[in-house]
Chain A
Amino acid sequence: MLDRLFGGDTFVATTRALDAAALRHQVIANNLANVNTPGYKRQEVQFEAQLARALAQRDNPCVRACTPISAIKPQVVTINTTSMRNDGNNVDMETEMVQLAANTLTFEALSDRIAGYFSGLKAVINGR
């Protein structure tokens, strides 16, 4: 019963995306902390593409069994191929700040969505 309340695709996908946003904030904070570290290579979080693929194929029973939405984990990858400066560091402060602002807004939108889901449930339970 409760599984069905909290196991819907939308709810699971939203909570996963919230986890990914929290991890992405951590990665951006680490990139910013290392903006002056020689040789540091920036990291980023890959998540949305996998989630979109799983959501697009969710009606396929095989895909649903093999890679359920709840199993999708955000991946941290290191970008080794570029360099911003002579010391080998490839952190671009402007890009990171834009991503930080965008990620904060994403996090707030997602948590608003989850809070809205809960208040909808509450309205149904109370019947008003």
Chain B
Amino acid sequence: MSIASSMQISASGLTAERVRLDVISNNIANVNTTRGADGQPYRRQQVVFAARQAGGAFAAALAAARGEGRNGQMTGAGVQVTAIEPDRTHDFKIVHDPGHPDADANGNVRLPNVEPIVEMVDMIAASRAYEAGVTAINSAKQMQQRALEIGRAS
């Protein structure tokens, strides 16, 4: 039970980091997109992570009744992506390029607020966190296999 739920927790981490990698890939792919659906240049997107609490009120009451999680201290239930939000704190980059189809009257083009270097750093952080989750799942598997060997004829 406990080992299986620790695998679920690690899996939630893998899902969240995967979503983050998808968003980062999308940002990098759109680094030069000057015309989005709303006619504006592409705006960089960011994922919002939040810690997930175990099961809600019923699970908390059940755990309390079983004598687990005294003082309201329960283990969390992993992580979830609560939102994918546009980055409004950084302005669009302005480049002088009169030949560009989206240039304004002064010959300036507004480019997306995507910084490839920032995206690369985020990508490394996400893939390291993903690897850590994979290691945790492998450890859980190893522990579960070892527990199954208890009582096996040797």
Contacts and interface: CB of A to CB of B under 8 A. Distances in A.
Interface of A: 18-19, 21-23, 25-30, 32-38, 40, 43, 73, 75-78, 93, 96-97, 100-101, 103-104, 107-108, 111-112, 114-115, 118-119
A38 B76 contact: no
B112 interface: no
Contact of B51 (A29, A40, A100): A40
A50 to B, nearest CB: 12
Given A25-B143, A104-B143, A118-B150, A32 B73 contact: no
B136 A36 contact: no
Interface string B6-19: 11011011001100
Contacts of B12: 33
Nearest to B137: A29
Interface string B124-154: 0110110011011001101100110111101
Interface of B: 2-3, 5-7, 9-10, 12-13, 16-17, 20, 49-51, 67-70, 73-79, 125-126, 128-129, 132-133, 135-136, 139-140, 142-143, 146-147, 149-152, 154
Contacts of B152: 115
Given A76-B74, A104-B142, A97 B132 contact: yes
Contacts of A27: 75
